[in-house]
Amino acid sequence: MAAISSTLSQRSRASAPGRRAMAESPWVRRLLIGAALTFLILFLILPLAVVFVEAFSKGIEVYANALIDPDTWAAIKLTLLIAAIAVPLNTFFGVTAAWCIAKYKFPGRSILLTLVDLPFAVSPVISGLIYVLIFGRQGWLGDWLFDPRYPAPHWIGFAHGWWPLTFDWGPHDSIAVIFAVPGIVLATVFVTFPFVARELIPLMEAQGNDEEYAALTLGANGWQTFWRVTLPNIKWGLFYGVILCNARAMGEFGAVSVVSGHIRGQTNTLPLHIELLYQSPGTYAGAFACASLLSLLALITMVLKNFIEWRHGRAGRELA
């Protein structure tokens, strides 16, 4: 017995820095913090800083001129328009898909869940290409879109009402869907497809159905249950998904680049406009001026995201 207790005390003396095994020594800790912060500053903060420094490198006048340029304005308006179409579509889908996947169990549920995530696994360039395969000249619908005997959709925007497409008879050129706004909308919808659904599904799974059952028992119908019980419970997660979806919709480059046609002032979104300015002689600072706008969007997105996390915990995680 004495032997045992003596080994025990030896043991505890051996690890007497007992604390040592539970935490790193102060200098290791400082070294690790220093290394991590150096990495984050070099890798994340410097690229962000260089955008603003380059944007103002030729003075505030060049910066302002780049932003009030009509082509820049057209690009900003198009980017806002694309987001205003794509984000609501995917938000509606996200809520519907989350209701179906999180609230019920059914065969094929996990396959459906994987398929919803699929667009994240597809390269942006391929996301654009697949729409060329359908709507391009050699695509599935190409014969119909480019045959003068049939009407083809033509984008007129929202200036004339809520429906932005007309159907034209007679000869039409190649810019019906691909190289026009509808193609950009479709590609953007594809790349931002999973954002809202993926944010809501874990959250709604964690919340369970108890409150909905209670509402139904008390006589609410399905709609009332959704609007008065489910929606208030998921509103922050929903908002979180929407801002991430919006950031990607406004910033998407690869997929949009394939289907846009890069027509200045017409089918150039802000990220494409940045590329154009960056590659044209003499507009280097202008490219960074436009990039600073998208960087501000990214910063606002991150502030909102952190605000939600601070108020309500990381969506889904802390509820569980």
Partner 1 sequence: MSDTTVVILPSPLPARPAPPGGFRAAPIPTRRILPGFGLTLGYTVFYLGLIVLLPLSAAFIKTAHLTGAQFVAAVWNPFAIASYQLSFGASFAAAAADTVFGLLVAWVLVRYDFPGRRLFDAMVDLPFALPTAVAGIALTALYNDHGWLGKLLAPMGIAVAYTPLGVFVALTFISLPFVVRTLQPVLEQLEPELEEAAAILGATRRQVFRRVLFPVILPALLTGFALSFARALGEYGSVVFISGNRPLATQITPELIYEEIGEHRIPQATAIAVVMLAASFVILLAVNLLQRWARSRTGEGSAQN
Q: What would the two tokens of residue 157 be?
A: 């925007």
308 touching partner 1, by CB under 8 A: no
Neighbours of 16 (CB within 10 A): 11
Which residues in 254-283 contact partner 1 (CB under 8 A)? Answer: 254, 257-258, 271-272, 274-275, 278
Structure tokens at 62: 């060049």
String of DSSP letters for 21-90: GTS--HHHHHHHHHHHHHHHIIIIIHHHHHHHHHHTTT-HHHHHHHHHSHHHHHHHHHHHHHHHHHHHHH
**Any idea how long the chain is?**
320
Binding to partner 1 in span 97-136, by CB under 8 A: 97, 99-107, 109, 112, 114-119, 121-126, 128-134, 136
Q: Choose, by CB under 8 A, the member of 72, 91, 268, 295 that binds partner 1.
A: 295
Closer residue to partner 1 (CB): 74 or 276: 276
Nearer to partner 1, 168 or 284 (CB): 284
User: Judged by CB, which is closer to partner 1: 58, or 103?
Assistant: 103
- Note whether 286 binds partner 1 by CB under 8 A: no
Q: Is 153 in the site for partner 1 (CB under 8 A)?
A: no
* Cα distance between residue 118 and residue 106, in whole Å: 20
Q: Given the complex with partner 1, which of 117 and 169 has the nearer CB atom?
A: 117
Write 108-113 long-range contacts (CB < 8 A, 24+).
Answer: 113/201
- Minimum CB separation of residue 159 from partner 1 in Å reads 26
In contact, 270 and 250? CB cutoff 8 Å? yes
Q: Which of residues 174-213 bind partner 1 (CB under 8 A)?
A: 186, 189-190, 193, 202, 205-206, 208-210, 212-213
Q: Which residue has the tokens 């944010």?
A: 199
* Residues within window 43-82 making contact with partner 1, judged by CB under 8 A: 43-48, 50-51, 54
Which neighbouring-strand residues pair with 154? Answer: 166
Measure the CA–CA gap between 272 and 71, rounded to whole angstroms. 11
209-238 residues in contact with partner 1 (CB under 8 A) are 209-210, 212-213, 216, 221-222, 225-226
CA dist 47 → 44, 265, 275, 295 (Å) = 6, 28, 17, 10
Q: For residues 290 and 288, what is the distance between their CA atoms, to the nearest angstrom?
A: 5
Beta bridge partners of 165: 155
Could you say whether residue 159 binds partner 1 (CB under 8 A)? Answer: no
User: Which residue among 84, 214, 263, 320 contacts partner 1 (CB under 8 A)?
Assistant: 320
Does 139 help bind partner 1 (rule: CB under 8 A)? yes
Stretch that binds partner 1, among 38-46, 152-160, 162-170, 231-239 (CB under 8 A): 38-46
**Part in contact with partner 1 (CB under 8 A); list of ranges 70-78, 151-159, 168-176, 302-310:** 302-310
Q: Under DSSP, is residue 102 helix (H, G, I), strand (E, B) or coil?
A: helix
What's the min distance (Å) between Cβ of 160 and partner 1? Answer: 26
Q: Among residue numbers 4 through 33, which ones bind partner 1 (CB under 8 A)?
A: 11-12, 14-15, 18, 20-24, 29, 32-33
Closer to partner 1 by Cβ: residue 181 or 274: 274
Query: Which tokens go with 80?
Result: 């806002």
- Report, in Å, the least distance between residue 298 CB and partner 1: 4
